Amino acid sequence: MTAAAFLLHTSHRTLAVAVVGAGAVLAVLEGSYRVWSATDRELQETRVRLRELDTPGAKRSYLDEMDAEARQMAEEIESLSDEDEWYPLRRTFDADVAHWENGVRAMLRNAYLRRRRERLAEIRSKVR
């Protein structure tokens, strides 16, 4: 029996549509789970990093590491000649560096704001 002959019957067509639909739903669910899992993992790593930035020494160390990484990226970009095939993509590289810088700024801002909220809560608890 060929696939076309199998699909001649209404019940077989309904079964085929149900199987394809179930496959599509499973594919969407699997993709959603992967995104959720990766996001959850990234969130946990960020929380750990933020907890590590509670002391001034840790903040300074983090800033020094990020400064060294930024200088290294800038040196690598500047060391390449204008004739290289990467040069047309320089704006993409610059955007990547800007994205990285924004991520560093956001992490530091969140650590600062979290610490500030904790201090305000501490002060409010003492006032009450």
What tens digit of pLDDT does each residue of 82-115 get?
A: 666 666 677 777 788 888 888 888 888 888 888 8
Same domain (yes/no): 29, 90: no
What radius of gyration, in Å, describes the C-alpha atoms of the chain?
27
> Do residues 104 and 44 share a domain?
no
Asked if pLDDT for residue 7 goes beyond 70, the answer is: no
The full DSSP string for 4-48 is: HHHTTSHHHHHHHHHHHHHHHHHHHHHHHHHHHHHHHHHHHHHHH
pTM value? 0.34
Task: Looking at the structure, tell me whether residues 16 and 71 fall in a common domain.
Answer: no
* Same domain, residue pair 45 and 90: no
Residue 2 maps to a domain? no
pLDDT in tens, 31-84: 888 888 888 888 888 777 777 777 778 778 878 888 888 888 888 877 776 666
Asked if 103 and 121 sit in the same domain, the reply is: yes
